[in-house]
Structure 1
Amino acid sequence: MDNNIEIIGFVAAFLTTAAFLPQVYKTWKTKDVTGLSLPMLLMFFTGIILWLIYAFYINSPSMIMANSITVVSSFFLIYFKIRYQKK
């Protein structure tokens, strides 16, 4: 049963993480960050780091994988927001 639950976790992890990647790519290519909110990105980033800590604590490979990728992706969006915003 645990194996089936972890498979569901990996499918969910793939879908939620993959859904985030087009925004990172679009922002990188266009350098348009006007639609991105820095406070939202910082809260999201903090939340993902907490989810990652939790995932390690409960030893969930699917959550560790998804949140690791999402931490990197959201970091890039924060970086792009700071670097490309018009002053």
Structure 2
Amino acid sequence: MTGEWMGYAAAALTTVSFLPQAVRTIRTRETHAISLWMYVLFTVGIACWFGYGIVLHSWPMIVSNAITFLLAAIILAFKLRHG
């Protein structure tokens, strides 16, 4: 049970830490300083973590990576559109 709460805490903190970058990018549409390949790899990696969470039936991994994937995909789309 303790490990489950630790998983939720880690998931919440890492997802929330990603929010300022996502909000700033969405508001300003400024992506010049963002590495395209970093976001491609990051987004694919998050999708893999999401899949792994599904395999493990780990709700902290599933929820946090679904949210982070959505935000990363939005930033990646802005980067591709506004480069």
TM range (shorter): over 0.9
Match of 1:5? 3
Offset from partner CA, 1:17-67 (integer Å, 9 cap, x none):
001011011011111111111111000011111111111101111011110
Match of 1:38? 36
| Matched residue count | 83
Structure 2: gaps of 5 or more residues: none
Match of 2:22? 24
Report % sequence identity. Answer: 36
- For 1:7-86, list aligned pairs within 5 A: 7-85=5-83
Structure 1: gaps of 5 or more residues: none
- Relative to the length of structure 2, the TM-score reads 0.95
Shift of residue 83, structure 1, vs aligned partner: 1.5
Please give the root-mean-square deviation of Cα atoms over the aligned residues, in Å: 0.8
